[in-house]
Amino acid sequence: MSKHLIEVEHLRQYFPAGGFGKNKRFVRAVDDVSFYVDKGETLGLVGESGCGKTTTGRTMLRLYEPTGGRFTFDENVIFDVEKKQYADMLPYRKRMQIVFQDPYASLDPRMTVGDIVGEAIDVHKLAANKQERYDQIIHMLERVGLNSEHANRYPHEFSGGQRQRVGIARALAVHPEFIVCDEPISALDVSIQAQVINMFEDLQEQMGLTYLFIAHDLSAVKHISNRIGVMYLGRMVELADSYELVERPLHPYTKSLISAIPVADPKQARESQRIVLEGDVPSPLNPPSGCTFRTRCPYADERCAAEVPKWREVENGHYCACHHIDKCN
Q: What is the pLDDT of residues 256-302, one digit of tens each?
A: 888 887 777 777 767 777 777 777 788 888 888 999 999 998 888 89
pLDDT of residue 328: 76
CA atoms within 13 A on the CB side of 95: 14
pLDDT of residue 1: 42
pLDDT of residue 48: 87
pLDDT in tens, 192-206: 888 889 999 999 999
pLDDT of residue 115: 95
Weakly modelled stretches of the chain, pLDDT under 70: 1-2, 269
pTM over 0.85: yes
pLDDT of residue 79: 96
pLDDT of residue 274: 75
